[in-house]
Each structure stands twice: as C-alpha cells, then as structure tokens.
Structure 1
Amino acid sequence: MKRRFDPRQHRIDLGRAPLMRFVIAVEPDSDRWLLMSLQHHLIGDHTTLEVMHAEVRAVLDGRAHELAAPQPFRNLVAQARLGVDAKAHEEFFQEQLADIDEPIMPFGLSQVHGNGSGVGEAHRMLPQALNDRLRHQARRLGVSLASLCHLAWGQVMARSSGREQVVFGTVLFGRMHAGAGADRALGLFINTLPVRLDLDGTGVEASVRTTHARLSELLAHEHASLALAQRCSGVAAPAPLFSALLNYRHNAPAAVSGAAAAVADVLSGAEW
C-alpha cells in the first residue's frame, strides 16, 4: 500500500472533491484489515490528523457521545479576513524586507530539475545530550527552543548563500490567533511566511534574542498572505523571495494500545 500510494508517484486530483481518499487491504493470512488515509495538504495539517485520530479512537472505545461539536473551518476564514488588516501586514513586511532585492537561495540553486521522483531524504536524530543542552541554553537565555533553531538555520542559510542578511520561510502553526476551538478544528491552518535575520557579527546571545523577538512579532501576522509578504520585498516577480524553509514543530505521540493503536498506525497514511 505504501508503494502503491507513494506521493512521489500517486497524485490526488484537485478537480475532484473531496481531497481525501481511504484505501483498504486485508493482511495476508489473517483477519486483519488495514486502512490508509490519503489527504491532500490543501485541506489539512498535522493537527488535523491528530484530531482525526483522536476521534477515531473515541469511537472505537465506545466514547463517541463524548466528542465535542465540530468546529467550522469558516471561523478561520473570518479570522484571517477580519483580523489584522492588510495595511498592517504591509507595513510589517515592508520594514522587514524592503531592502532585500535578490532571492536568498542556498548554493545559488534556482532551478528544479525532473518531476521530484529522484528526491532523496536524510533523517538525523539529535543525541539526547545535545537536545538537553539546547533546551538548557534556551531557558538560560529566556527564549524558545524554536528561536534557537531558527538562528541555527539562519547560519546555515548565510553560509550556503554567502549573504549576511538572509530570508527563509518558516511554517507557522496558524492556530494561535484563530479563535476559540481552533485546537479542535479540521482544516489547513498552517501558513508559510518569510523571516529575515541579520547575521552580521552580532554576538550569539543578542542574535538569539533578536530572533526570538522577530518570531514573536511574526505571530501577529500568521494569517497574512505569502504573496503579500513577497510584494513588500525588493525582489521583482516572478523570482521567489526564498527557496528554503524551516518547519519547526513539537510532536507529543500519545500512548495508545490495542485496536486503537493499530488504527492510529494505518490512519497516519500519506499527507502531502
């Protein structure tokens, strides 16, 4: 099933609703059935999957009556359109990006070759000791671990692009200012927006605090349009403002067992 519906070779047709599919298969030589959820990223994010899994587990455990009323996605649409106005978004991103007049691209790579089927992935698990040290430093400096990681990624961008003023995308949770019940709503809340860092020889501690402040300011604009942000830069269309991003997120796997665990495993499916 994983090979058959690998997103590198299987696509969901955007012209056919809903943008979600379920495929099933019986496990050979057993009475166990597997179900895989295929969900296009246009209609959901990681939190959406977690909410779906929690609801399925509740039904399997006979607790369907405990489920809260669904939260409509239109609440986010209203929040995004009626919250911070476009002028405030423009002023913020113009201040951050107006003097950036060239795309920030690692190693100068600007072209995509092929259809993506040859893309490789690398996974690296940080040692627990390093994880503990990073968290200790973040607490000592009074910043989030996310800020420390963004500054580290900014250093990678600076070294690989040869620039001191770097811009890269950061994936925002999108549910911080989305109204009551946003933590239980299904749909695509995440947004990618540019963050600008100046790596000009400033001390590490000052740089970390500056990074933390910029990310905090960016949260107030988490529902702004990426197209609007790019127009506020000095990079002329159709060139992109940046080509690399950092998706910092915290996962807390729930401890489940029995049939619920099996369903959670197969429901994880493919998200792209």
Structure 2
Amino acid sequence: MTPLQEGLLFHARYDSRDLDVYNVQISLEVEGRLHAERFRSACDALLERHPMLRAAFVQKRSGEPVQVIPERTAMPWHVHDLAGLDPREQADKLAAVLAADRHRRFDPADPPLMRCTVVGLDEDRQRIVLTMHHLLVDGWTTSLLLRDLLALYDHGTASGLPAPGHYPDYLRWLAEQDREKARTAWLEALAGLKEPTLVCPGTDTARIRVLPERIVVALSEADTSALLDISRRHGVTLNTLVRVAWALCLHRRTGQLDITFGATVSGREAELPGVEEMVGVFINTVPVRVRLDPSEPVAELLERLQGEHAELLEYHYLPLSDIQRTVGLGTLFDSCVVFENFPTAETLPSGPDNGLRLTDVVGHDAYHYPLKLMAAPGRQLELEISYRPDLFDAPLGQQVADRLRELLIELPGALALPTGRFLEHTPAPPVEQGQQMMCELIAEVLGRDFVSADEDVFELGCDSLTALRLAGRIETELGRPVDVESVFRWRTARALGTALT
C-alpha cells in the first residue's frame, strides 16, 4: 500500500459506526436512451481492464496492511426509477438517493470498493452514479476511469483506448526510494518550527459525525487573468499564489506567523514509463510551511515559497507520519489545500454515436480535515471551501471563503508592498484559566519567575527529564494521567492548556 492508502485505511476502520468521509461519488447526467445491461457490462469490463479497482484491503498476521487483487469481481449495481414524478418530488427523492449512497460504507476487505447506481428521471434522461472509496482512486485516476467507462459502453471493447499502465511498477518505485535522505530534507525544511498550525486544537478530527459543508466562490475572468499574469512575470505558479493566500487566512484565525498546512501532491513520477495511464492512488499529503515576515515584500514571499517548494519536490513520496515523527511536534496541521492538476470532465467524450450525451458531471470528494480548500484552475479560478459543521458554524466558513477571495483579488496589486499589509495587528489571545495554570507549572518546574503563554518550553531549557517532571506536575493538578508525550507535542502553556483542560 502507499502511505496515503494506509492513512485512508486507518480512517475507514477508526469508527465503523460513523460516516466514512472518504467515499467518492461521481454523478453523471446523460440524455438519450441508456442500454442498462450494456452499461453494466461496461462497468464489469472497467474492473477487468484495471486490476487495482478490484483491490481488497486487509492486514497480514503481522499487522502489515496490504492490498489483495482478486482475479474476478463484478460491479454492484442498483437501479431507481423516478420517472413520472413531479419535478419537486423527483428532485427530493434524487437528493435522498444520492445522500443515502454517500453514507453507505464500504468494507475495505470486501471488494470491489465501487458500485454503480442508475436513476431514471424520464424516458431519455438519467443519472449514473459511481461511488468508490478513496483507497482506489485519486483525481487523475477518476478522470481515466470515467473516460474508459464511457468508451467501453460506446464500443463494447477497449479498442481505441491507450494501453493501461502497470500500477505495481509505481509501488516498486516507491519502495526503492531513500527515506532517510527524504527525512533529512524535510527536517531541514521545517527546522525552527515551534508549533503546529491547528484551527481546532485538542479535537478528535478523525471521528466524523456529519459530512463537510461546501462553499464555492469563483473569481472573475479579469481577476483570474491578473493572477495568471503575475505568476508568469514572477516565475511562480498559480498554486503558490493560492498557498500564500491560504496561509494569510490561517494567520487571521491563529495569529501565527509561521504557518503550516497540508497540501495534496500528485505523486506521479514523470520518469516512470506509462504513469499517465496508471489507475490507482498516487497522491500524498505533505506539509507546506509559510513563514510570514511583515517586512518582506509580497513578491519576494511568493518567489521564496516557490523556491522552497521546488527543493522538496523529489521528496513528496515520504509518508506524512514519517515527516511528523521526524519533526517531533506531533500533528503539524489540520487544514489542507488541494490544487487540481488532472484532466477534467470537460475533456470527456460526449457518449456513443447512438445519441447518449453526457450533459453534466458532479463530484463529491471530502476530507476529514476541519477546513479544506480545493482550487480548480480555468478561465475563472474556482475556490471550494469545505468545513466540518460539527467543528465550525456556517458564518465562519463563509468568512474564510470571503477573506480568501479578497486576498486573491488584492495580491496582484500589492506585490511591492510589505507582507505586513495583510497581517493582523491584534494583541495576543487572552490567557485562559487552564493556560494560566500551565504557565505557573512550567515556571515552577523550570525554576523561573515567569513564563508567558506562548514561550516554547524546550527553548526555555526543558529537556526529557524536566518534561517528565512537568507531565507529573500537570497530572497531579488535573487528577488524571498525562503522557509525557503531551509536553513534546504541545510545547507552550497556551497549547498545553487548550489541549489538556
């Protein structure tokens, strides 16, 4: 399994009673007469063409998770007929069918982790709903399988399609990489980072009660063109511009100047033969660090971040768990940015010559993070903010979306200005009672008269033995066990107070 697959398997098995947020649902609306059995055969042929879509995910007796590929399996198939209903009732029932489908979990050990649902809307209009677990697909893979599925329905065979890539070649390449060298590179890149950037500190974000809500905003063509123009003139990518804007949004929420968040990276090694036609999971999530210097011009911030990103490109394969263990700060972030860089639905064929036409594609692809940004480039840059309604309310999600849009509109005209133009000049958050107690305990253990809420205990002289003593003092005050790992994970009185009290 890839590093990301191991993380996804953890989430799939974390709490089998709740939602699995990593169900991916693609809804295709087609016009024309659909031959249902022919489409069902195309679904089965898709699983035959791409073995990784047949994968089951199990653990060996040693506990090692692996994926097992059966020689044959058929696509589960469901049909709903909503034709003849009045428009409002039909829309309500369609929404209920789609919601129930997204909520129905897959058993990772019971392949295939895919299913197809056909919803008849009238004689010449239907929805084809493909639902699959993220363990099988990433964005690029989803585009490939949609292209192949429509072609298999059209022609009945894979004739005319490119030869599929051999996914095990990628897994072998991944196993051959130098993890120690990658750990060193990430340790250097994150050196001096004092604390994680958490929008929901002290929260169990792995347990999902409700699916994330989405807010979509789009920049105008003129504003998008302005961003593209400065990206060309300064040798940076649109992705870098979006990352800087996201870091400034996180700064407004946390007050931090050294920001970390996750980024989904493609993982497709360009030098691997046939990688563009491989179906499977390649993506990985890695940290992005953005250091905000109030005196640094915005243009220099962009160029510096672009260079720092380029230096780490060859180490994007390292598992996030390895990076976080190497840095030693625990969870580094709880927000994520996804920048789409794969073929989109606009490039899909419109259907067979017998008149079946693809008229719309709607996708749902959620993450467990409390806050996620997905950016989709095009004539108008589209920004989708996903937020967990069990952790954020709707007004806060809208504030983030509005602020992000404002920043991306303002940045092209502010390149010569210092970054401080976009930073909050507000006092530090007030120290709460639990945090004040931590200040006093840290000062006592370290033999100091005073410790502020945001000072790093290890920079003040704490070591492993004093960390053990500090954990014991906190344990005594709280009247419950406190692991010494907590001191290493939350290194300030404010972070310890928030997490433990």
TM-score norm. by structure 2 comes to 0.49
User: For residue 335 of structure 2, what is the aligned residue in structure 1?
Assistant: 244
User: For residue 197 of structure 1, what is the aligned residue in structure 2?
Assistant: 290
Does residue 111 of structure 1 match 2:111? no
Does residue 218 of structure 1 match 2:312? yes
Q: Provide the C-alpha distance between the structure 1 equivalents of 2:307 and 2:163, rounded to a whole number of angstroms.
A: 37
Does residue 151 of structure 1 match 2:151? no
Does residue 170 of structure 1 match 2:253? no
Q: Which moved more, 1:204-213 or 1:4-13?
A: 4-13
Deviations for 1:199-223, whole angstroms, at most 9, x for unmatched residues? 1122111111111112212221121
Report the 3-state secondary structure (helix = DSSP H, G, I; strand = E; otherwise coil) of the residue aligned with 1:70.
coil
C-alpha deviation, 1:182, in angstroms? 1.1
Gapped runs of 5+ residues in structure 2?
Answer: 1-93, 367-501
**Aligned residue among 97, 104, 111 for 1:17:** 111
Contact 2:165 2:277 in 1 (8 A): yes
User: For residue 228 of structure 1, what is the aligned residue in structure 2?
Assistant: 322
C-alpha deviation, 1:2, in angstroms? 4.8
Amino acid at match of 2:145: M
Gapped runs of 5+ residues in structure 1?
Answer: none
User: For residue 131 of structure 2, what is the aligned residue in structure 1?
Assistant: 38
Contact 1:169 1:245 in 2 (8 A): yes
Contact 1:45 1:188 in 2 (8 A): yes
Does residue 121 of structure 1 match 2:200? no
Contact 1:38 1:271 in 2 (8 A): no
**Aligned residue among 50, 53, 70 for 2:164:** 70
Q: Provide the C-alpha distance between the structure 1 equivalents of 2:241 and 2:175, rounded to a whole number of angstroms.
A: 32
Amino acid at match of 2:260: V
Q: Which structure features the higher share of strand residues?
A: 2
**Taking structure 1 as reference, are residues 265 and 87 closer, same or farther at Cα in structure 2, changes over 3 Å only?**
same
User: For residue 494 of structure 2, what is the aligned residue in structure 1?
Assistant: none
User: For residue 72 of structure 2, what is the aligned residue in structure 1?
Assistant: none
C-alpha deviation, 1:269, in angstroms? 5.9
**Taking structure 1 as reference, are residues 264 and 180 closer, same or farther at Cα in structure 2, changes over 3 Å only?**
farther
Contact 2:151 2:351 in 1 (8 A): no
Q: Provide the C-alpha distance between the structure 2 equivalents of 1:117 and 1:233, rounded to a whole number of angstroms.
A: 32
C-alpha deviation, 1:228, in angstroms? 0.7
**Aligned residue among 185, 191, 195 for 1:92:** 185
Deviations for 1:97-148, whole angstroms, at most 9, x for unmatched residues? 2432422113x54425873426422111111111000000101101111111
- Aligned-residue Cα RMSD (Å) equals 2.6
Q: Provide the C-alpha distance between the structure 1 equivalents of 2:118 and 2:102, rounded to a whole number of angstroms.
A: 20
User: For residue 254 of structure 1, what is the aligned residue in structure 2?
Assistant: 347
Q: Provide the C-alpha distance between the structure 1 equivalents of 2:350 and 2:102, rounded to a whole number of angstroms.
A: 31
Contact 2:154 2:352 in 1 (8 A): no
Matched ranges for 1:176-195 at <5 A? 176-177=269-270, 179-195=272-288
Report the 3-state secondary structure (helix = DSSP H, G, I; strand = E; otherwise coil) of the residue aligned with 1:65.
coil
**Taking structure 1 as reference, are residues 4 and 12 closer, same or farther at Cα in structure 2, changes over 3 Å only?**
farther
Percentage of identical aligned residues? 26
User: For residue 224 of structure 2, what is the aligned residue in structure 1?
Assistant: 131
Amino acid at match of 2:334: S
Contact 1:76 1:179 in 2 (8 A): yes
Contact 1:4 1:10 in 2 (8 A): no
Contact 2:231 2:237 in 1 (8 A): yes
C-alpha deviation, 1:247, in angstroms? 0.6
**Taking structure 1 as reference, are residues 226 and 190 closer, same or farther at Cα in structure 2, changes over 3 Å only?**
same
Amino acid at match of 2:108: L
User: For residue 458 of structure 2, what is the aligned residue in structure 1?
Assistant: none
Amino acid at match of 1:244: S
User: For residue 6 of structure 2, what is the aligned residue in structure 1?
Assistant: none
C-alpha deviation, 1:196, in angstroms? 1.1
Contact 2:262 2:333 in 1 (8 A): yes
Report the 3-state secondary structure (helix = DSSP H, G, I; strand = E; otherwise coil) of the residue aligned with 1:24.
strand
Q: Provide the C-alpha distance between the structure 2 equivalents of 1:35 and 1:194, rounded to a whole number of angstroms.
A: 36
Report the 3-state secondary structure (helix = DSSP H, G, I; strand = E; otherwise coil) of the residue aligned with 1:122.
strand
